[in-house]
Amino acid sequence: MQMKSILLGLSLVCNAWLGWQLYHLSSASLPDGPQSVPAAPQASAAQFKKSSTPASVTRAQQAFEQAHYEQALASLLQARQTHPDITKRYAQQWWQWIDTQLMQASQAQLFAQLALVQGYLRAEPQAVTAQRIEILIYQSLDQPDEALTRLLIAYRHNPHYAQWQTLVDTLLVPRLDELSQQQQWHELLTLAAPWYDEKPQMLPLLTHQVEAHLALLQPAEALFLIAQAAHTLRHHLETEALYQRAKALQQGVTHVPLRRLGSHFVLEARLAGTTIELMIDTGASVTSLTQQQFAALEQAVDYLDTRTVSTANGLASVEFYQSAQMQIGDQVRGPMQFAVMNEMRAGPGLLGMNFLRHFDFDIDQQNAVLILRPRSHN
């Protein structure tokens, strides 16, 4: 009887051990959960071990993955007080993920992520990776000047951080080019001047400022900038060409680039707030615009009268108007009368003698340049 009890006990022990082994084998073969791509970075299993990861960090990570950024920030900052190193690691993962998603993010998502980053920066103002993401978010929100303001502040605090120079090349120089193309000279100078204080060896900062001063008819300021520049910048070919332009402007001489059109030359002029192309015609007494150019004028002009004039096709009635001024290169004259051609056609208008008579002028055909020297009585 005693032997049967012993054998029964051994049998129960063996069955229990086999059942435990089968349970663990089956558990290991099953997936942990649904296999889907997360919307945000998932922390590793090691990071989620209760023994090493605070509950507030776990809550922060889960909230971030669900795009509940306000909750994620609150939990992360709570954990930061006792576990600063762990929270920094998680924050770094967040910024890396946001960086990869900037191109796909909606405006609403970008604003929410900006609030998250700025909230973190209030607690960690020297976190350069967060500063970089803040700058990139502003750029993605089409706020380049705000992005560059933040970049300047960050650069001043930590000029040796390698990423700042990369952002200067990718954000600052294209913005200067854009403002130059848009002829927003005052905005360009406002942007470039503080940057030039920080990076006086940067050629585009010098040349863009000089060009802006020349466009604003400020040759003395342009020459002063060039004189104060480093030796290598002063003797750069681009700077030397700008120096010659500044000296000529100071002496009242203007060089206007020309475009060849068959045997004629075409230049750009500013009239009524609009850039138009005019073909030099010394045989025309009055400047003329095409109907397409006239329709595109951005500012109002005054109607004068309708006159009968002789054209290549005989006599025709032509409307005449007057604008406050016209600018070619850095030379401005006004008030400026002009006619509007009857025929509908594309292409340039005609630059007549009512503008050119104010100058002694030459056409440098070899270099395609119009040289204007104001007459002494102007």
- pLDDT of 136 > 50? The answer is yes
pLDDT of residue 250: 83
Asked whether residue 272 is domain-assigned, the answer is: yes
pLDDT of residue 217: 83
- pLDDT of 21 > 50? The answer is no
Domain containing 361: what range?
258-374
At 7, list the tokens: 């054998």
Q: How far is CA 46 from the centre of its chain?
A: 42
Asked whether residue 2 is domain-assigned, the answer is: no
Asked whether residue 53 is domain-assigned, the answer is: no
pLDDT in tens, 319-372: 999 999 999 988 999 999 999 987 767 789 999 999 999 999 999 888 899 999
How many domains does the structure of the chain reveal?
A: 1
Q: Which long-range contacts (CB under 8 A, 24 or more apart) does 113-121 make?
A: 113/69, 113/137, 114/138, 114/141, 115/69, 115/70, 116/69, 116/70, 116/72, 116/73, 119/70, 119/73, 119/77, 120/73, 120/76, 120/77, 120/91
State which H helix or E strand residue 202 sits in. Answer: none
pTM of the model: 0.61
Tell me which of 220-229, 231-240, 308-317 is least confident: 308-317
In contact, 171 and 144? CB cutoff 8 Å = yes
Asked whether residue 185 is domain-assigned, the answer is: no
Distance CA 338, CA 303 (A): 10
In contact, 264 and 233? CB cutoff 8 Å = no
For the beta carbon of residue 66, count every other beta carbon within 10 angstroms. Answer: 13
Distance CA 345, CA 349 (A): 10
Pairing of strands 287-289, 302-311: unpaired
At 34, list the tokens: 């649904």
pLDDT in tens, 40-52: 555 544 444 444 7
Q: How far is CA 143 from the centre of its chain?
A: 8
Asked whether residue 253 is domain-assigned, the answer is: no
Distance CA 73, CA 78 (A): 8
Question: How far lies 237's CA from each of 174, 208, 222, 233, 301, in Å?
Answer: 21, 14, 16, 9, 41
Q: What is the CATH number of the domain that holds 269?
A: 2.40.70.10
Asked whether residue 349 is domain-assigned, the answer is: yes
Asked whether residue 274 is domain-assigned, the answer is: yes
Asked whether residue 352 is domain-assigned, the answer is: yes
pLDDT in tens, 52-94: 778 888 999 999 999 999 999 999 998 888 888 889 999 999 9
